[in-house]
Amino acid sequence: AESFKYQGNKGSGGELHQKASEKHPTMTTAQGCPVSDNQNSLTAAKRGPGLLEDHVLREKLFHFDHERIPERVVHARGYGAHGYFETYESLSQLTCADLFQRKGEKTPVFARFSTVAGNKGSPDLARDVRGFAVKFYTQEGNWDLVGNNIPVFFIQDAMKFPDLIHSAKAAPDRGFPQAQTAHDNFWDFISLTPESMHMVMWAMSDRAIPRSLRFMEGFGVHTFKFINAEGEENYVKFHWKPKQGMQSVVWNEALKLNGADPDYHRRDMWESIAKGDYPEWELGVQVFSQEFADQFEFDVLDATKLIPEEQVPVQIVGRMVLNRAVDNFFAETEQVAFCTQNIVPGLDFTSDPLLQGRNFSYLDTQTKRLGGPNFTHIPVNAPKCPMAHFHQDGHMAMHNPKGRINYEPNSWQEHEHNPRECPTTGYKSASEHTDGDKLRYRSETFADHYSQARQFYLSQTAIEQAHIHYALVFELSKVEHLAIRGRVVSHLLNIDTTLANEVADGLRLQTMPEPAQAAMPTRDDLPTSDALSILKN
Ligand code: HEM
């Protein structure tokens, strides 16, 4: 109570003036000029016009006017925290990644959890996929594991991502709705994109309304590669398992929470860290060889498929503890820039066509969102290991090379700043043989869109299956164009007839559609413009 006691004085006009003192340093402008009056602007007379000369007022308004930066084009709403990752046992036989070499090694991390479709001010309990992004500040650079709380994705190729997101976000004419309730554009796109069916099952399940960020799993989704010091390669999938267990709310709880406390998830994270109940996840890996990949019934490069844990068990390799809230939400949570291309020696990408596109997209969008190429200078994005390169200049350059050398090779032997490449410890990509014609391909090994959707649906308990029925009926009943509802049900028929019947009944469909053509659709299989004409307006 003492700290709230009013300590200021009254100004000549009777308004409150809180003055600098031993406890309160003198306020300055951003240029360091001490401020004498933070309440009254400079005017030509007591009741006269303001003066252009008032540098204090102009600077204050100018800075306020520029406070906003673009929100993320997806995953705009998120919440982050600091912590550490602890390696349980050395994984040196699988990877030379520095963070996995030593038992007990602790690597600092920053994690950000998010919803995908809503804007920055959207409610936490939207039915949506949750982002699960972790930046590991390793001794050999930052490794970003930019995952979701669902192990598969809606699409197989980055080419479709802008369309997927356009369809899920506000329609361009009316400016609503977002993911909170479904709408025609989203379900239209989904119904014309059979590869999305597996992810749709997860998104309609309880996984998409987690009780809090602490109670959800995380997945790297794509297949990556581990490379060890001998150059031996294995495939790897990453999993986060919450020590708190996995919990969800039910849909009517989600709706009430969204109204009563739209910040429910972030508040829960803040409070649990504040009271020392630190959220914790274990990191698991599924490691498998080329031989396994070759005999697996799906393509390991297809992000709409997972590797069942029964076939390749998840090996727990460490834990992440989040034990420190941010000092400043904007500086850290808003400015953090995760990117799938941030990788370290001992790890590599695969040719998953979704991942390949992501590797471009994050850096590209962050260059705009964070105002130029120097956002690695922002403390939350800066590596915590030594850095040495010749990047220079650009907006907000804060760490330009010291001295005369800013190129390589050069003839200067001794100099404070003169880094050179290192063939033994430097990053090396996994080897890969490729041979073929340059074309726009979709591999036939990406064709089966329903089997894993069915496996997921059948793996659910009766209550969980009922929640999927309700969710689909609720979401599709918001779709105004009946043909779209029918087209979604035609896909459900390929997943499970009970599911399709439940949803058709719930929607009061007049006629049951034919099952969608199960083979990979070609351009000719998609509804013709005649069939689509029903959707006009
Ligand atoms: C954020 C693109 C697929 C997880 C973003 C952002 C973009 C983007 C542009 C905003 C980044 C920023 O402004 O900092 C894409 C593209 C994809 C794709 C082009 C497919 C081709 C995925 C997938 C996952 C994922 C499959 C999960 C495995 C995330 C997460 C964030 C994010 C977690 C938020 C990161 C944060 O907390 O700042 N994505 N994304 N994205 N994406 Fe993706």
Nearest protein Cα to ligand 1, atom 20: 158
The pTM of the full predicted model, rounded to 2 decimals, is 0.94
Q: How far is CA 283 from CA 134, 277, 383, 489, in A?
A: 11, 19, 21, 37
Q: What angle do CA 242, 247, 251 make, to 5 degrees?
A: 145
Q: How far is CA 192 from CA 144, 512, 528, in A?
A: 32, 18, 11
Is residue 228 annotated as part of the catalytic site, yes or no?
A: no
The Cα–Cα gap between 514 and 14 comes to 78
The Cα–Cα gap between 115 and 129 comes to 6
**3-state secondary structure labels for all residues of 358-402:** HHHHHHHHHHHHCCCCCHHHCCCCCCCCCCCCCCCCCCCCCCCCC
Per-residue confidence (pLDDT) for residue 5, from 0 to 100: 63
Name which of 295, 287, 105, 124 is nearest 208 in CA terms.
124
Tell whether residue 161 is among the known ligand binding residues: yes
Interval between CA 75 and ligand 1 midpoint (Å)? 7
Please report the sign of the dihedral spanned by the C-alpha atoms of residue 250, residue 252, residue 253, residue 258. Answer: positive
Per-residue confidence (pLDDT) for residue 6, from 0 to 100: 58
Beta bridge partners of 210: 248
Task: Give, as one character, the DSSP assignment of residue 353.
Answer: H
At 348, list the tokens.
């590599």
Interval between CA 222 and ligand 1 midpoint (Å)? 13
Nearest protein Cα to ligand 1, atom 5: 74
Is residue 148 annotated as part of the catalytic site, yes or no?
A: yes
The predicted-structure confidence for 87-115, as pLDDT tens digits, reads as follows: 999 999 999 999 999 999 999 999 999 99
Residue for token pair 């105004």: 480
434 three-state secondary structure: coil
Phi, psi angle pair for 427, to nearest 5°: -65, 130
Question: Catalytic residue among 142, 148, 234, 374, which?
Answer: 148
The predicted-structure confidence for 5-47, as pLDDT tens digits, reads as follows: 655 677 766 778 899 999 999 999 999 999 999 999 999 999 9
- Cβ 248 vs Cβ 460: under 8 Å: no
Per-residue confidence (pLDDT) for residue 16, from 0 to 100: 83
Q: What angle do CA 323, 329, 330 make, to 5 degrees?
A: 145
Alpha helix (H) ranges present in 108-245?
A: 161-168, 184-191, 197-203
Interval between CA 186 and ligand 1 midpoint (Å)? 18
Mean pLDDT of each 10-residue bin along the chain, 537 residues long: 60 80 96 97 97 98 98 98 98 98 98 97 96 98 98 98 95 72 85 98 98 98 98 98 98 97 98 98 98 97 98 98 98 98 98 98 98 97 96 94 91 87 95 93 94 98 98 94 96 98 97 86 50 42
Interval between CA 306 and ligand 1 midpoint (Å)? 19
Quickly count: other Cβ atoms within 10 Å of residue 463's Cβ: 9
Question: Catalytic residue among 75, 82, 467, 491, which?
Answer: 75
Exposed / middle / buried, residue 437 (Cβ in 10 Å: 0-12, 13-18, 19+): exposed
10 three-state secondary structure: strand
Pocket test for ligand 1, best of 71, 73, 74, 333 (most atoms within 8 A of CB): 74
Per-residue confidence (pLDDT) for residue 17, from 0 to 100: 87
User: What lines the ligand 1 site, CB under 6 Å?
Assistant: 72-75, 78, 112, 114, 131, 133, 146-148, 153, 158, 161, 221, 303, 336-338, 354, 357-358, 361-362, 365-366, 369
Q: What angle do CA 204, 208, 211 make, to 5 degrees?
A: 135
Beta bridge partners of 460: none
